[in-house]
């Protein structure tokens, strides 16, 4: 870089470029937030769904599973598990853990009440109805 | 001889030691995780996978933060040409951060996560249980307090002294780090919004403000070891961080393809994040250019190697491996697979682990009262560089192979197979990844040993005059 391009020019481009990017990002964020209600099942998630999300978080499900592709890659995707397995299977599966099959990956037993299982399923149902631009490519997640 | 230009730079030393200690813990838990991928019930139920993973990732973040803080305490007095505002505060914050970090890890390991959430008042403000932000509320608040006090200390030092581009860029990065962390406290019940703003911490940290910190540290070390004109180095730095933020901020959109956000993000995210390798490539060119134009031969060869290594590996890990799956049509198939894991490993190692090891390599000898490490110690450190770097390349390659196979079996073939059926078929790659991890750990052991290695006594050549016996 020659003497024509000085440090103070570089600095000014940094400030200008960063400011422009931040403003553009904020504008896109504003637009996205405005569009969201049309892309999710219910604009305000129900109490059940909210409680289910809290259970999802406090059991650290994301530490093994992915949800809409984000999380750990140790256990199956659960964003579409409601559609893949249905509500009853999900509850039976959670209640049956851990399998104790030697050498197999194990999921802890969380001792959920029936109410808690309903909440969790409600959250997974809500999540499965988000408009994800047709991701994942197939039902296996 | 006075090695430190400013006495208060010495506060960096415990930060670097803690960073290395936690690094060792991180790798040990990485080995546990790698084994759990192939022996599913290994250590279950004592340490379930999710717990080991939290420890692995949280230790990484914490030790890198220790490294960044140590780097700031070391380089800011020298850049500002004045003593640190308050060395006492720096010492105090060190212990607060270390104890908070240790208690958090003990909490993860000692009680079930749900119990930990209950004990630490998660219901007051629900922030736990999101990837990388698993810390209990008191820890999160502690991070904010430590970050603010740290910024005050560094800010006051810069304010009263010389203001260089390096220290201003470092401070900008650190302020950004602290401000963006505040989004960790925002967790709406709407999952899409939750995810949208979760990335403001995660992406805007590692593909945004952390790169400013990275650039500043690298620029400082290159300035010291090459003796190249400050004007040249700082001009480069501004160009690099401009490219970083202009591509990286809108580049956040590459996380907004499939989480419920509008489809136009596939274009915004794709185009801008496809350009994210450019600043990393500029960084590679910068490193080699500066070393080639060096005006002196710095005796710390290990530090030079780490600096060049950072330039190359950050470009490969963050730039190339990021680009591989950043375009929406590709990401549609690779999202949330081992491809992501491959990229994550090499990017974090190449960019942030290596830059922290670069500043440690440069500063630690002087913090320990010597100009440079003895020859043998440097040779061992360079051995550890190659062992860790090459094994990380192999970890990445094996995970990439596993990822390609996973995508093929689970998402592309006409009769896609279930997640676990596919995982079983990836076992060979997971074993090879684990072996590469063991080599990485061996490299880390060599690294630790290099701190204590002394030169062997010089052997006397045959025929040389023997000292007279008395």
Q: Do A137 and B412 touch (CB under 8 A)?
A: yes
Mean pLDDT score, B127-137: 98
The CATH superfamily assigned to A44-128 is Cytochrome c-like domain (1.10.760.10)
Q: Which two tokens stand for residue B312?
A: 């190359």
Report the alpha-carbon distance of residue B372 to residue B375 in Å, rounded: 9
What does the mean pLDDT of chain B come to?
Answer: 96
A25, A131, A133 member nearest B257 (Cβ) = A133
Residue B81 lies in a domain: yes
Residues B275, B251: contact at Cβ < 8 Å?
A: yes
Q: Do B238 and A59 touch (CB under 8 A)?
A: no
Q: How many CA atoms lie within 13 A of B202 on its CB side?
A: 19
pTM equals 0.96
Residue B246 lies in a domain: no
| Count of structural domains, chain B | 1
A11, A132, A139 member nearest B238 (Cβ) = A11
B41, B117, B411 member nearest A58 (Cβ) = B117
Q: Do B128 and A73 touch (CB under 8 A)?
A: no
Residues 119 through 138 of chain B touching chain A, CB cutoff 8 Å: 122, 126, 128-131, 134
pLDDT digits (tens, 9 = 90+) for B14-58: 999 999 999 999 999 999 999 999 999 999 999 999 999 999 999
User: Is the omega angle on the peptide bond into residue A41 within 30 degrees of 0, that is, cis?
Assistant: no
Q: B310 CB near a chain A CB, below 8 Å?
A: no
Range of the domain at B155: 1-163
Among B152, B173, B18, CA closest to B96: B18
Q: Do B192 and A40 touch (CB under 8 A)?
A: yes
pLDDT exceeds 80 at position B356:
yes
B113, B165, B268 member nearest A58 (Cβ) = B113
User: How far is A3 from chain B, CA to nearest CA, in Å?
Assistant: 10
> Which CB contacts under 8 angstroms, 24+ apart, belong to B407-413?
B407/B333, B407/B334, B407/B337, B407/B339, B410/A140, B410/A141, B410/B337, B411/A136, B411/A137, B411/A138, B411/A140, B411/B333, B412/A137, B412/B333
Q: B37 CB near a chain A CB, below 8 Å?
A: yes
Buried b / exposed e over B13-38, threshold 16 CB at 10 Å, is bbbbbbbbebbbbbbebbbbbbbbbb
Q: B257 CB near a chain A CB, below 8 Å?
A: yes
Task: Name A66's bridge partners.
Answer: A71, A77
Q: Do B241 and A64 touch (CB under 8 A)?
A: no
B128, B238, B416 member nearest A58 (Cβ) = B128
Q: Do B191 and A53 touch (CB under 8 A)?
A: yes
Q: B405: Cβ–Cβ under 8 A, 6 or more apart, which residues?
A: B422, B425, B426, B429
Q: Do A108 and B48 touch (CB under 8 A)?
A: yes
Residue B320 lies in a domain: no
pLDDT digits (tens, 9 = 90+) for B424-455: 999 999 999 999 999 999 999 999 999 999 88
Q: Do B114 and A137 touch (CB under 8 A)?
A: no
Residue B241 lies in a domain: no
Mean pLDDT score, B359-367: 98
Residue B274 lies in a domain: no
Q: B5 CB near a chain A CB, below 8 Å?
A: no
Residue B457 lies in a domain: no
Q: Do B51 and A63 touch (CB under 8 A)?
A: yes
Confidence band, pLDDT 50/70/90 cuts, at residue B11 = very high
Residue B326 lies in a domain: no
For chain B, the straight-line distance linking the first and the last C-alpha, in angstroms and rounded, comes to 34
Q: Which two tokens stand for residue B272?
A: 């801008």
pLDDT digits (tens, 9 = 90+) for B253-290: 999 999 999 999 999 999 999 999 999 999 999 999 99
State residue B118's pLDDT score.
97
Q: Do B257 and A138 touch (CB under 8 A)?
A: no
What single DSSP character describes residue B329? H
Task: Name A8's bridge partners.
Answer: none
Domain range annotation of chain A = 7-37, 44-128
pLDDT exceeds 80 at position B463:
no
Contacts of B246 in chain A (CB under 8 A): 17-18, 20-21
Contacts of B128 in chain A (CB under 8 A): 57-58, 60
Task: Give the whole-number percent of chain A exceeding pLDDT 70.
Answer: 98
What single DSSP character describes residue B1? -
Q: Do A105 and B49 touch (CB under 8 A)?
A: yes
State residue B470's pLDDT score.
46
Q: Which two tokens stand for residue B86?
A: 């308050």
Q: Identify the closest residue of chain A to B34 by CA–CA distance.
A: A74
pLDDT exceeds 70 at position B461:
no
Report the alpha-carbon distance of residue B156 to residue B177 in Å, rounded: 18
State residue B100's pLDDT score.
96
Residue B453 lies in a domain: no
């Amino acid at each position: 870089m020659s003497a024509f391009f000085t440090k103070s020019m570089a600095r000014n481009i940094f400030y200008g470029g960063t400011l422009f990017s931040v403003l553009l990002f904020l504008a896109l964020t504003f637009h996205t937030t405005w569009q969201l209600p049309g892309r999710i099942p219910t604009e305000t998630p129900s109490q059940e769904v909210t409680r289910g999300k809290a259970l999802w978080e406090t059991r650290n499900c994301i530490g093994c599973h992915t949800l809409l592709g984000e999380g750990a890659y140790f256990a199956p995707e659960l964003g579409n598990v409601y559609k893949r397995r249905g509500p009853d299977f999900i509850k039976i599966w959670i209640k049956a853990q851990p399998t104790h099959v030697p050498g197999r990956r194990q999921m802890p037993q969380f001792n959920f009440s029936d109410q808690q299982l309903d909440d969790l399923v409600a959250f997974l149902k809500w999540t499965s109805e988000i408009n994800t631009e047709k991701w994942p490519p197939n039902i296996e997640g | 001889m006075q090695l430190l230009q400013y006495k208060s730079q010495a506060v960096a030393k415990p930060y670097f030691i803690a960073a290395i200690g936690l690094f060792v813990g991180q790798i040990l838990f990485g080995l546990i995780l790698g084994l759990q991928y192939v022996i599913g019930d290994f250590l279950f139920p004592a340490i379930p996978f999710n717990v080991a993973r939290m420890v692995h990732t949280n230790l990484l973040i914490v030790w890198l933060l220790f490294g960044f803080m140590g780097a700031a305490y070391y380089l800011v007095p020298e850049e500002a040409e004045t003593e640190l505002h308050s060395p006492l505060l720096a010492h105090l914050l060190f212990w607060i951060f270390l104890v908070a970090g240790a208690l958090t890890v003990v909490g993860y390991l000692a009680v079930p996560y749900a119990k930990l959430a209950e004990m630490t008042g998660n219901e007051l403000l629900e922030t736990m249980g999101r990837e990388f932000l698993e810390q209990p509320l008191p820890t999160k608040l502690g991070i904010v307090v430590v970050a603010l006090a740290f910024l005050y200390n560094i800010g006051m030092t810069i304010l009263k002294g010389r203001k260089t581009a390096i220290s201003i860029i470092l401070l900008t990065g650190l302020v950004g780090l602290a401000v963006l962390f505040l989004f960790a406290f925002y967790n709406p019940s709407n999952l899409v919004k939750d995810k949208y703003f979760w990335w403001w911490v995660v992406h805007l940290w590692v593909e945004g403000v952390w790169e400013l910190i990275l650039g500043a540290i690298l620029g400082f070390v290159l300035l010291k070891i090459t003796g190249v004109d400050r004007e040249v180095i700082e001009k480069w730095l501004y160009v690099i961080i401009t490219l970083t933020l202009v591509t990286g901020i809108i580049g956040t959109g590459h996380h907004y393809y499939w989480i419920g956000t509008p489809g136009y993000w596939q274009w915004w995210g794709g185009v801008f994040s496809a350009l994210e390798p450019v600043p990393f490539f500029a960084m590679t060119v910068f490193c080699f250019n500066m070393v080639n134009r060096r005006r002196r031969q710095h005796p710390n060869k290990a530090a030079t190697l780490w600096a060049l290594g950072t330039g190359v590996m950050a470009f490969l890990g963050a730039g190339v491996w990021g680009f591989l799956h950043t375009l929406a049509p590709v990401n549609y198939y690779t999202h949330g697979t081992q491809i992501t894991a491959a990229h994550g490993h090499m990017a974090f190692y190449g960019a942030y682990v290596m830059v922290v090891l670069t500043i440690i390599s440069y500063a630690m000898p002087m913090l320990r009262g010597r100009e440079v490490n003895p020859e043998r110690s440097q040779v061992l450190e360079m051995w550890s560089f190659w062992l860790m770097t090459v094994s990380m390349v192999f970890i990445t390659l094996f995970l990439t192979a596993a990822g390609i196979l996973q995508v093929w079996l689970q998402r592309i073939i006409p009769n896609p197979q279930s997640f676990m059926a596919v995982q079983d078929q990836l076992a060979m790659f997971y074993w090879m990844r684990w072996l590469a991890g063991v080599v990485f750990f061996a490299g880390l052991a060599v690294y630790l040993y290099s701190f204590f290695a002394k030169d062997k006594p010089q052997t006397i050549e045959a025929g040389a005059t023997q000292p007279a016996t008395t």
